[in-house]
Structure 1
């Protein structure tokens, strides 16, 4: 029987990660599995807890949203340890890409009976040569600005904070001149963002990269060029279905290593949490993490 260590983000989704774990924990223990719970007081602390548990041969559960999933998964990347997900955040986009269940019974069944399958991760290197590993995507531009606003919203929670953050970002954004180098090939344009996607979803269910796959050894690079504001709003509404990629203002390429630069200070983020400014390099790590699916 599997032995689990749950790493909990106590404030995931504006409620409690602990509450989301309760029903799953009861089902795991009833099935005879061993479960211990660790509460993180920061994302860095969550990564430390995950590494310690993985070193002990335990299946590590990330309980929370994409931020803690990315940190825990990143900490386990390349170690041979196994990750399980208990989605309890605002977006849960990586769990969505894996088509994981969201109800307690389905989550417990996956954790008890699912097979550890390899997925790709993303190694990020900042201008200061700081290295981070995440799961879902790296994005630089208006979406990173919107996510920053959402993360710092005091009165709104969940999806509402994303919408409010996006509206605030759109009203203040100036198109940036990007230079995006994909496997040595440069792409220059003025626009709104560039996304290097391992997962097809970001921003709470938006299909930014409909053809992205978490286990193909490639990143889907989505570049959104400048457009009139009314057209940009129409394009954003198409993210729900992923049909925005048909627009002439959107270019999609695939690659293993992506370097993103801009002509001014442009924010970038990853998995809903990393907040920094360009330049940044994102490199896929094929099959680096085992996830119960």
Structure 2
């Protein structure tokens, strides 16, 4: 990451993105009004003001639910919008990626959710919609985007991490719980999964290599370094290197996991003897009774194959 939130990585001229050249003056705000406990609705205005102040026409897309929102975002992209500016948290960023990946339409990020791992991974502003809007406007005016890779599982694109094992079981349990609300639900789910901790028999294949059989606590496949609200599970992942980082935490007891877990926020867990890292263009994971979560959203039961798609999307970023 460069100075003051300026992301590093290749910068290219927007004309490489074919959709952008059709209608460059009209920009679409893709908004989740409930993101960040209601911050999404209030964040849309300063972001829109920054874009309009730079001379762009702005229209807003909302949805009644996630499928409806995605349909509307795709319609905007198909109609030739100059950019899709996502205003919300990682859930909305995931929907936005489904709409723009592989189309040539650049993505702007106004991160106002609770985790904001996609924006943090790119060094973009978090919970500062006015600044994020100005950055997007500057990039559009200058005609630059940063191209990054995405992961893909089946038809699902992801920008950060495909999680499986202990962390996905926490998600499963948390999603089944009705009370309490908010983050506390997942804290309780984590405690329950710790009490039931057991290693998972994985079969892992990297690219065209042999199948590896391993007892693991979790396996995380990262296009980017972060998930779970700032956990650097795949700390060494680079979002434009054409590779996925595969972090394997071998089977361990509760005491070891509790000792290693706080290190995830600094990325120093990668030095622990129970942790190994691999890099590959594609990864196939097989394990019984495990659901995969990509960018925090369920993508289905294992087996799953994740592939890195180089240069799959352009992100609006500050000029150098």
Q: Which residue of 2 aligns with 1:237?
A: 262
Q: Alpha-carbon deviation of 1:70? A: 1.5
Tell me which stretches of 4 or more aligned residues in structure 1 moved more than 3 Å. Answer: 148-156, 160-165
Selected match of 2:64 from 41, 51, 72: 41
Larger Rg: 2
- Identify the residue that residue 315 of structure 2 maps to in structure 1: 291
Q: Which runs of 5+ in 2 are unaligned?
A: 1-23
Question: Scaled by the length of structure 2, what TM-score is found?
Answer: 0.84
- Does structure 1 conserve the Cα–Cα contact (< 8 Å) formed by 2:118 and 2:160? yes
Q: State the match for 2:118 in structure 1.
A: 94
How far is the alpha carbon of 1:86 from its aligned partner?
Answer: 1.1
Q: Paired residue for 2:275, among 250, 253, 258?
A: 250
TM-score (norm 1): 0.91
Task: Kindly tell me the number of residue pairs found equivalent between the two proteins.
Answer: 286
Structure 2 CA distance for aligned equivalents of residues 17 and 5 of structure 1: 15
Cα contact 1:54–1:82 (8 A) shared by 2: no
Name the residue aligned to 2:8: none
Q: Which residue of 1 aligns with 2:88?
A: 64
Q: C-alpha deviations, 1:225-270, integer Å up to 9, x for none?
A: 11121110111111010001111111100001110001x2112101
Alpha-carbon distance, 1:123 to partner? 1.2
Provide the alpha-carbon RMSD of the alignment: 1.9
Residue number in structure 2 paired with 1:136: 160
Secondary structure at the counterpart of residue 261 of structure 2: helix
Aligned to 2:215: 190
Q: Report the Cα distance in structure 2 between the residues aligned to 1:148 and 1:20, rounded to whole angstroms.
A: 30
| Residue 81, structure 1, aligned to residue 110, structure 2 | no
> Once the two structures are superposed, what CA deviation does each residue of 1:21-68 show, in whole Å capped at 9, x if it has no partner?
222222322333211111123333232222211222221012211122
- Render the CA deviation track for 1:166-195: whole Å, top value 9, x for unaligned: 333322332210011111222221121111
